[in-house]
Structure 1
Amino acid sequence: METVKEVNIPPFARTPSSQSRVLTTAVRFGVRPFAGRIKGRSATIRLWRSLLGAGARCLRADPRVSIEPIIDPCVEDPDVKRPVRGEWLRSPGCSPERGAILYLHGGGYAICSPRTHRVITTRLAMDTDLPVLAPDYRLAPEHPFPAAFEDVLDAYRLLLARGFSSDRIIIAGDSSGGHLATALTAEACRTGLPAPAGVVLFSPWVDLTGELALASVSSSRDPYIVPAVATRFGRLYVGKGDWEDPRLSLLTCPNEELPPFLIQVGGIEVLRAEAEALAEVLDEAGSPYDLQIWPEQMHVFQIFNRLLPEADAAMREAGRFIRRVLGTDSITEAA
């Protein structure tokens, strides 16, 4: 419950709720010890995919949103090499003429899927009344770089081929999906592909080498991410790729004019330093951005938007940003 003193304070600067503190403690003692044992072996990765898939069912997605699985070859664009797989999510008041959201799920490039992130994608669909396309991109270690990048680039091309103007498209993503969203946007600006109207990042994983995570002062406080494990996942995805490839190395690439960014990151997560580093790169490039550091919040806390007041507020902030960028502020927020 908000105190009188906090009424005029932005939601990302307020005292953490008791619900948030309880959940953070539970994750720190119930999940982190096991997460630290992930060695990157195929059998372990498959186990975690199953566990997180089952756990995602406990986070109920908004039942008002329709979900349509797709396998679309997008024959209209010869540059799309593989059928786009994933799902469309639409609210009851969906207005595709206003634009669309391309949502790229996280999971260290090795786990999770559009299904595990429906509590976020359905919320975005309800808060914006925009159709949300969540591609089911290929995962490492079976499919290392550039497989995931190529798949999300194809998904973006699909939106353009379906008549969505680039200035009506928002690219959003969390964790490794945040890395993909940034890489995809920068690639569009580098290659002359029409750039999106804006980018929304939840706890973006920016440095796949793991150097920033290992040096982070939050490494001991983060209730979820173990820096050494993040480094292993980075190696799984990059594989034999060039670490200096601009599609991988985000902190050395953007000299282009990029669209507006909203970056949300938890105050105690190990990826906070990476979000701050990305903000510095955007600032040096003269690109507009809004960096929100949410006190005492964990990695991708937005996924608990039906449980935590901070996560609910963060999703509302994301919805406002999207509507402001697209000029659809008159759309009513989801209750």
Structure 2
Amino acid sequence: MLGISLPAPVARIVVHPFFRYAMHHRLPWRAQRAVLDTASRLQPLPRGTRVQSMSLGGRPAERITVGAEIGPGAVLYLHGGGYATGSLASHRSLAAHLARELRRPVFPLDYRLAPEHPYPAALDDAEAAVLALISTGLRAEDIAISGDSAGGGLALALALRLRDRHGIRPAALGLIAPWSDPNDFDSAYRDLVTSRPWARACAAAYLGDGDGDDPGYAPLRGELAGLPPVYVQVDAGERLYGQCVRLVAALRAAEVPTRFSVTRGLWHVAQAQAGLVPAAAAAVRELAEFLEESLRTASI
């Protein structure tokens, strides 16, 4: 562990140049992935973290726990990265901090990435992972699904597919700045982490020859009624803030129990720096409290 605690304003100064150049639309995807994985070594894991490599639905995954487990239930975690970057390594710290606060196992999934594997490869992998968890003896209501950015959009799309194909309703969805409509480019040109050109490149890589109106690709355009309780977190200063506001309004219009919290002074998926920034750790703690309450209620 690094043993470093940074105030959010200082952390913003530190991370800004890294994201500006590591997540650039002119940098090849493989290079972006390599840089993000290398930088993940600076994001500490909580003391006592246990990481077990495994397979879920035919894809690499991890079972992450921290400390003693307090009850049934688990979280499937879907990482962000525009569907074209991100990995188990880049989001291991975030998943471990969530596991510590939740006191239940968190299962990050290494789903296939675009452009090598465009839509619906990631969604197919996430679906297979849930079915694999259920095959171990977990009930659908013992599983919560969480994700950030593109992974948050994927979590929402997964919930729609589970509802429509399998009649399955997980315990809850915990979404960190979910990218729920990759067709939407009306937001600001850039924030501290992402830019419009990078988002356009990611969206095109993920869509491939698909239909942009497909709710599996853009779940905000789908029918949202019947979903489990949802918690959406976003920072007021990030590009996806307006889209998250629209998503929350659509969820509430569909009578989906929805909690919405907005931070100020953080950045897109600052929760990934929970091991360094106390304000980011607080956001992870709030997410864990929501998921723990949902899993406990479903268990009862």
Partner of 1:197: 171
**Offset at 1:248?**
1.0
Q: One-letter code of the match for 1:90? A: T
Partner of 2:21: 34
CA distance, structure 2, for counterparts of residue 31 and residue 65 of structure 1: 26
1:126 aligns with 2:114: no
Partner of 2:58: 83
CA RMSD of superposed structures (Å): 1.9
Partner of 1:57: 41
Deviation sequence 1:241-277 (CA, Å, 0-9, x none): 1111110122221242111111110110001111111
One of 219, 227, 239 as aligned partner of 1:270: 239
One of 110, 125, 128 as aligned partner of 1:151: 125
Q: Check conservation: 2:23, 2:198, Cα contact below 8 A.
A: yes
Q: One-letter code of the match for 1:311? A: A
**Offset at 1:181?**
0.4
Q: Check conservation: 2:46, 2:66, Cα contact below 8 A.
A: no
Deviation sequence 1:257-301 (CA, Å, 0-9, x none): 111111110110001111111101101101011111101221001
Deviation sequence 1:118-161 (CA, Å, 0-9, x none): 11111111111211111111111111111111011100101111
Tell me whether 51-60 or 308-317 shows the greater mean CA deviation.
308-317
Give the TM-score of the pair, scaled to structure 1.
0.83
Partner of 1:223: 192
Aligned partner of residue 115 in structure 1, secondary structure: coil
**Offset at 1:187?**
1.4
Q: One-letter code of the match for 2:63? A: W
User: Counterparts of 1:205-284 in structure 2 under 5 Å?
Assistant: 205-211=179-185, 215-216=186-187, 218-219=188-189, 222-284=191-253
Q: Check conservation: 2:93, 2:272, Cα contact below 8 A.
A: yes
Gap change, CA 1:101 and 1:296, over 3 Å in 2:
same
1:22 aligns with 2:6: no
Identity of aligned residues (%): 32
Gap change, CA 1:255 and 1:316, over 3 Å in 2:
closer
CA distance, structure 2, for counterparts of residue 99 and residue 247 of structure 1: 26
Aligned partner of residue 254 in structure 1, secondary structure: coil
CA distance, structure 2, for counterparts of residue 83 and residue 112 of structure 1: 18
Structure 2: which 5+ residue stretches go unaligned?
A: none
Aligned partner of residue 57 in structure 1, secondary structure: helix
Aligned partner of residue 54 in structure 2, secondary structure: strand
CA distance, structure 2, for counterparts of residue 36 and residue 69 of structure 1: 27
1:141 aligns with 2:102: no
CA distance, structure 2, for counterparts of residue 276 and residue 219 of structure 1: 18
Q: One-letter code of the match for 1:261? A: V
1:161 aligns with 2:145: no
CA distance, structure 2, for counterparts of residue 18 and residue 90 of structure 1: 25
Q: Check conservation: 1:174, 1:202, Cα contact below 8 A.
A: yes
Give the TM-score of the pair, scaled to structure 2.
0.92
Q: Check conservation: 1:103, 1:121, Cα contact below 8 A.
A: yes
Q: Check conservation: 2:150, 2:178, Cα contact below 8 A.
A: yes
Q: Check conservation: 1:84, 1:151, Cα contact below 8 A.
A: yes
**Offset at 1:18?**
7.9
Partner of 1:67: 51
Q: One-letter code of the match for 1:48? A: Q
**Offset at 1:24?**
1.7
Q: One-letter code of the match for 1:194? A: I
